[in-house]
Structure 1
């Protein structure tokens, strides 16, 4: 039986807000997805950014086959207690040699923990979907992106990005907005695969994220009003309800890389198949 540890990077208030919005924290979203990708796997959620929480669970990181880091509104360039705690946790993950995966802020946490840097995107935004992500030469042959075409879209919403990858990292995918869309990061015995986008999100959750960040979208001229944001979110939500609606996909400029659930979460399935299971075998866990 696979044993997964899910590290919820978001602080308590963000978890509560997300639960009010979609009924799940980011960690609970990962938990539900992993139950589909690896039926029968055991999942444990921890909150290493929280005050008073042990960064490493009592059974130790070696007890887990993989660690997953969720998205978060934390800004990893801020020297706050929350950021320091989650970075310290990630360094422990690297030191343990346990394979790890992260999306959005999860990629940023791993970057900073291994010696890279993160920055604000300034006036740029990827809101709802990251468009025309293209694997690099290294990414085209990397198992993280196995099955992805030469260019694809993915759920995404973020205001920060990786500025510089650490040494021994490999850039796997980029687009015209954010250079580091996917990367492999190594530190000590640890290997991390991560993406700036959100393969774990359903379209329902994308619609909710747009609503939660409506003020920011208006401020950065991606929408003129709350009504504009709501109209766009309703289209995304309708496509969630009826993913076969070609008219909705056409209006949103999406194809089956986003509308098909298996394609949408491909990187997480690839991580389990191509890194977690072989590492588990080398560790003698069957």
Structure 2
């Protein structure tokens, strides 16, 4: 029996330096460091060794892997970001170009939120400000499409589910080769598979990787915006909501807090919450690694 070598995964940080430093100041880690820790936990749960590298395409002078370098990885993941693709800033467009490099390398490809948007734009789709408004905290009543019910991305998911989320943009026009697998009332593309060139991308608009503490840190930064947009009446209400999130992270058995926030048991369970990310590892990354190891 051929023993598989350790996984090599690439995490693509979606934020420029200033944004990720602001994030880390509140949450304790950059999005890419947090995502790397989650991937380490998930691969360890599968009894796999993994080496995880991080790259920073939004940074000036970033030393990014070329096609051959990307091709040496067993999977690539793009994190969330505070950028907006419709602004067409350099920090955004360079990530779209890099996503095309990942597609061309044929490496299993995953993204949360911003990652889905970048992958869609790289394949010819369009991202716009969501006219329905911001989705923040817990995305409610996400439901699988007909295509999504039997898709391996969502294996083990209920037909309707909630998930941590924060975004004001959405994929407004899906690219050729895309299959929308989940939607809800606030967002027409909550999950999708995108086939482009030699690559296959699986992605979600929500954040399966998030803990409630991470979500609380992000909402702390977003409190002024949430007050302005009417999500909270005042700072005290915002602080109480965030404190509940942190309390739920520390003790998921707090039925009182879960009830108050309307958090379903499936969202409390990290294995269920991370369904799509786990499925990507087990159903995209591992089969590709196995094939390469045999070769």
**Equivalent pair of 2:67/2:101 in contact (CA under 8 Å):** no
1:123: how far off? 5.8
* Alignment of 1:169 onto 2:174: no
Determine if contact 1:46/1:57 at 8 Å carries over to the other structure. no
Q: Of 249, 263, 274, which aligns to 2:283?
A: 274
1:89-238 residue pairs with structure 2 within 5 A? 89-122=98-131, 124-238=133-247
Runs of 5+ consecutive residues of structure 1 not aligned to the other structure:
none
Shift of 1:282: 2.5
Q: Secondary structure at the match of 1:182?
A: strand
What is the CA–CA distance in structure 2 between the aligned matches of 1:208 and 1:25, rounded to whole Å? Answer: 11
Aligned mates of 2:294, 2:244 — CA distance in 1: 45
Q: Secondary structure at the match of 1:198?
A: coil
Alignment correspondent of 2:24: 19
State the distance in 2 between where 1:284 and 1:41 align. Answer: 15
* Contact 1:18–1:25 under 8 Å retained in 2: yes
SS in 2 for 1:273: helix
Structure 1: distance between partners of 2:228 and 2:294: 51
Q: Between Structure 1 and Structure 2, how many residues are aligned?
A: 286
In structure 2, the residue matched to 1:250 is: 259
Deviates more, 1:209-218 or 1:170-179: 209-218
CA distance in 2, matches of 1:284, 1:260: 33
2:13 aligned residue: 8
Corresponding position of 2:42: 37
Secondary structure (helix, strand or coil) at the match of 1:232 reads helix
Query: In structure 1, how many angstroms separate the alpha carbons of the residues matched to 2:67 and 2:103?
Result: 17
Of 260, 281, 286, which aligns to 2:269? 260
Q: Which runs of 5+ in 2 are unaligned?
A: 1-5
- Do the aligned residues in 2 keep the contact of 1:48 with 1:56 (CA within 8 Å)? no
Which residue is equivalent to 1:46? 55
Report the Cα offset of residue 256 of structure 1.
Answer: 2.1
- SS of 1:35 mapped into structure 2: helix
Contact 1:174/1:180 (<8 A) preserved? yes
Normalized against structure 2, the TM-score is what? Answer: 0.94
For residues 178 and 267 of structure 2, the distance between their equivalents in structure 1, rounded to whole angstroms, comes to: 27
Residues 209-246 of structure 1, C-alpha deviations (whole Å, 9 max, x = no match): 11111121112111122222111111111111110111
Runs of 4+ in 1 over 3 A off after TM superposition: none
SS in 2 for 1:149: coil
Q: What is the rounded CA distance, in whole Å, between the counterparts of 1:185 and 1:77 in structure 2?
A: 20
RMSD: 1.4
Q: Deviations over 1:133-156 (max 9, x none)?
A: 101011110111111101111000
Does the Cα contact within 8 Å between 2:67 and 2:104 map onto a contact in 1? no
Q: So what's the TM-score if we normalise by structure 1?
A: 0.97
Structure-1 residue corresponding to 2:73 = 64
Alpha carbons 2:142, 2:183 under 8 Å: kept: yes
| Residue of structure 2 equivalent to 1:74 | 83
Rounded to whole Å, the distance in 2 between the matches of 1:235 and 1:284 is 46
